[in-house]
Structure 1
Amino acid sequence: MNTQPLELIQSTSGQALLAQMYGQQQLEEQTARYTKLNESFEQYFGVQVCSKLFSAAGRSEIGGNHTDHNHGKVLAGSITLDTIAVAAPTTDSVITFYSEGYEQKYVIDLTDLAPKAEDDGTTALIRGMAAGFEKFGYKVGGFQAYISSNVFSASGLSSSASFEMLICTILNHFYNEGTLDVVVMSKIGQYAENNYWNKPSGLLDQMACAHGGLIAIDFENPAEPAIEPVQWDFQQNGYSLVIVNTGGNHADLTEDYAAVPYEMRAVAKALGSEYVREITAEAIYANLKQVREAAGDRAVLRALHFLEENNRVDGQVQALREGSFADFLNLITASGNSSWKWLQNVYQSGSVKEQEIGIALALTENYLQKLGDGACRIHGGGFAGVILTILPNEKVEDYMSWMHGMLDTPIIVVNVRAQGAVCLNTLIENVG
């Protein structure tokens, strides 16, 4: 079935899918968004018989801050912010696309996938993903696309992983009959970041963007991460996830991010292991002097954060499954405190004048203390970007108004959505 994108989103099934993905209250807005997306595609590429709609979610990391890269555990969810595209396959080996808000025309020749010094970040990522498809034994081919995203860039909501999973889903759908699973697509995204972007990322971001829903992931065996869905609807249970964009930008903080896994592994190495998942807090205590001398004090604190954070993820999942939301909130608060004091990713080392995340957290902690409910914490990689606040639904507007009046930065409510990285046409066809 080659239903045209505009016809698809305006159909009864299409409207039902958009309401399911984004919520009934966003149906009109999202219909207009996809309509504009299709108009832009046709403006650049004309009407294409085989054009289809794609979406890849952003992600919220609920628990497990900086644990995946040392084989730890996380609790994360696909969210209602996403990267979307209209795309159509071509007969040549060239990917051509435009991205909303950018004048540049991106053209990537798939016959030459070696890293290029002249590539910008976007071109490098796509070249890297195409190379990753071939490395893992899958097919690549050309396509034309128009892309749009409302995932805050360089903020901690994984705009890059959302983009990667969008591209993976397009290539998976057009050239691999949808045979790639979430783990393989995530590894391709990680391969591109590690080898074409020089970013030492784990798999959390890609998996949370691609899978859909709220999931607990255990990376003890990163070759085959264990994924367990967690059934919990925050809003239906009286609480909202609020993302505060503090105004900072983490785009140029690769060294800060790289230091976290490096220092954690230095502690593990001092104890004869490779990853912190393989050691215990008791082993650190028993060899504290030796470990401090070998790895440094901040590294020790970061390793201790990892070990406690791993336990907190288990506790968070258990609390949600038992409906003990007060316990869950306490664990979120503990996670935030640990990230600030032990992991130390709330601001850049030596940064005194600009500490946007610290300010946002301090304001929010005072608000929640007076409210007597809710929790907040650093969100994502940290050092700059966004914070996560969980608070009662009826207090959301008051909190957002109060924070916006002081920070004048974007603040939005997000929901966990069931769809991760998908072809909308396929979802509707499968239902039909």
Structure 2
Amino acid sequence: MSRAGRVADAFRAVFGRACAGVWSAPGRVNLLGEHTDYNGGSVLPLALPLRTWAAAAPRADGLLRLHSALFPGEPVEVAAAGLAPGAVRGWAAYPAGVAWALRRAGYGTGGADVHVETDVPLGAGLSSSAALEVAVALALTGAVEREADRLVLARLVREAEHAFAGVPCGIMDQAAAACCTTGHVLHLRTRDLALRQVPFDPVAHGLRLLVVDTGVAHALRDGAYAARRAGCEAGARALGVRLLCDLDPGQLDGALGALDEPLRPLVRHVVTEEERVGRAVARLEAGDPRSVGGLLTAGHASLRDDFAVSCAELDLAVAAALRAGALGARMTGGGFGGSAVVLAEEAAAGRVGREVAAAFAAAGHRPPRVLPVEPGDGARRDL
């Protein structure tokens, strides 16, 4: 039986009736472009094989009942019409926020039963929250046969995460979950939400892309993420630009001299990271993915030294991968834990995984999870 079929069976076991369908959305890994999305810059995410599934069926009584395989017990129940920020706590705040945002936008999904399951590890920097939100958005609209543009849904579920989960995230994660396609990275220009699919097929070029889950859970609600964002906004104000990515790289040195010291490294990271994304797109479109490796490594150094969002385990994973011959490696996601992404020749991929595992064992860290990945599908209906 397919995973969607098992999710449908689980829905029936929880709610005592059949679902209207099963929808899913992927986790994502960001190849390049970190902390640029809320600064008007560009990002290069790709969809992972790890997914979140949502089975749903509408209700006529206006109740929203939410159940997760990760948090067994009775469904969380709330009146759909009474949804408001702060009304739901814990994991259910994410799908409840999606229902709230859809109702505010006029989609009128009303009451529903929803059951969710996931393969995306929580806190690993692989966007488990966006996968959940987008899957639930598709399920709630699909269950009542309402169609919605994928980018519109991405914007709505980002609004939900801001209001209900208290995470001031950019648009990258939700757009990646909604819009990625197999064999491509999504080049998303966040200032105007222009997007295009850029070919990226590592296997066809004799390469492997590895995700290293360090096992260190990150928490973006603890204030560190918000503090970085506030610093970027302060830097933009001080420089008289609307968004940091409005700053031309040729102006960077002069701009840094006009800033107070705490803001300089934040601005330097954002401007140079935006430049790295542009170079990566040009190299991928020229059919030269190998040369992107050095950009990944430079991006990690910038995130570690300037933006200060790495951690010892991420630094160790990157260093061990490079020592084993990887073409490039960097932390991915918001930081403070989570995962690293590694680009390696096919012949070196096994050695990279072993070297990273050995380095973690020698340092006394819990074993990392090393997952080979290929760019996959975005959100879809599975049943």
Give, in whole Å, the separation in 2 of the partners of 1:187 and 1:199: 14
Count of matched residue pairs: 373
What do the CA deviations read for 1:216-242 (whole angstroms, capped 9, x no partner)?
011122xxx000111221222222221
Moved over 4 A (4+): 281-284
Q: 1:46 aligns with which of 2, 9, 16?
A: 16
Q: 2:116 aligns with which of 126, 141, 147?
A: 147
**Equivalences for 1:136-285 in 2 at 5 Å?**
136-175=105-144, 177-178=146-147, 180-213=148-181, 214-221=185-192, 225-251=193-219, 254-285=222-253
Q: Aligned-pair RMSD on alpha carbons?
A: 2.0
Question: Is 2:355 the partner of 1:398?
Answer: no
Q: Hey, what does 2:286 align to over in structure 1?
A: 322
Give, in whole Å, the separation in 1 of the partners of 2:123 and 2:296: 23
**Equivalences for 1:298-309 in 2 at 5 Å?**
298-309=262-273
- Report which stretch shifted further, 315-324 or 281-290: 281-290
TM score, norm. by length of structure 1 = 0.81
Report the CA distance between 1:254 and its aligned residue.
3.4
Report the CA distance between 1:284 and its aligned residue.
4.8
Give, in whole Å, the separation in 1 of the partners of 2:317 and 2:31: 18
What do the CA deviations read for 1:166-214 (whole angstroms, capped 9, x no partner)?
1110122123521x11221111111111112221111000000111222
Q: Hey, what does 1:79 align to over in structure 2?
A: 48
- C-alpha contact (below 8 Å) 1:264/1:300 kept by paired residues: no
Question: Is 2:368 the partner of 1:409?
Answer: yes
- C-alpha contact (below 8 Å) 1:271/1:283 kept by paired residues: no
- 1:265 match: secondary structure: helix
- 2:54 match: secondary structure: strand
Q: Highest Rg: 1 or 2?
A: 1
Unmatched 5+ stretches in structure 1: 1-9, 11-30, 348-354, 426-432
Q: Hey, what does 2:302 align to over in structure 1?
A: 338
- C-alpha contact (below 8 Å) 2:318/2:340 kept by paired residues: yes
Question: Is 2:329 the partner of 1:376?
Answer: yes
- 2:200 match: secondary structure: coil
Report the CA distance between 1:101 and its aligned residue.
2.9
Report the CA distance between 1:404 and its aligned residue.
2.9
Question: Is 2:328 the partner of 1:364?
Answer: no
Q: Hey, what does 1:96 align to over in structure 2?
A: 65
- C-alpha contact (below 8 Å) 1:91/1:142 kept by paired residues: yes
- C-alpha contact (below 8 Å) 2:20/2:143 kept by paired residues: no
- The one-letter code matched in structure 2 to 1:367 is A
Give, in whole Å, the separation in 1 of the partners of 2:317 and 2:137: 35
Report the CA distance between 1:97 and its aligned residue.
3.1
Give the 3 Å change call, closer, same or farther, for CA 199–252 of structure 1 in structure 2. Answer: closer
Give, in whole Å, the separation in 2 of the partners of 1:194 and 1:101: 23
Give, in whole Å, the separation in 1 of the partners of 2:86 and 2:299: 40
Q: 1:123 aligns with which of 92, 100, 105?
A: 92
- 2:167 match: secondary structure: coil
Unmatched 5+ stretches in structure 2: none
Give, in whole Å, the separation in 1 of the partners of 2:156 and 2:295: 33
- 2:216 match: secondary structure: coil
Give the 3 Å change call, closer, same or farther, for CA 255–116 of structure 1 in structure 2. Answer: closer
Report the CA distance between 1:289 and its aligned residue.
4.4
Give the 3 Å change call, closer, same or farther, for CA 236–94 of structure 1 in structure 2. Answer: farther
Give, in whole Å, the separation in 2 of the partners of 1:173 and 1:72: 32
Q: Hey, what does 2:259 align to over in structure 1?
A: 291
- 1:111 match: secondary structure: helix
Q: Hey, what does 1:18 align to over in structure 2?
A: none
Give the 3 Å change call, closer, same or farther, for CA 235–107 of structure 1 in structure 2. Answer: farther
Give, in whole Å, the separation in 1 of the partners of 2:250 and 2:208: 38
- 2:219 match: secondary structure: coil
- The one-letter code matched in structure 2 to 1:388 is V
What do the CA deviations read for 1:117-176 (whole angstroms, capped 9, x no partner)?
5x3232222332222113223222222232211111011100000000011101221235
Q: Hey, what does 1:351 align to over in structure 2?
A: none
- 1:80 match: secondary structure: strand
Give, in whole Å, the separation in 2 of the partners of 1:334 and 1:125: 34
- The one-letter code matched in structure 1 to 2:223 is E
- C-alpha contact (below 8 Å) 2:207/2:346 kept by paired residues: yes
Give the 3 Å change call, closer, same or farther, for CA 409–331 of structure 1 in structure 2. Answer: closer
- 1:138 match: secondary structure: coil
Q: Hey, what does 1:352 align to over in structure 2?
A: none
- 1:403 match: secondary structure: helix
- The one-letter code matched in structure 2 to 1:182 is R
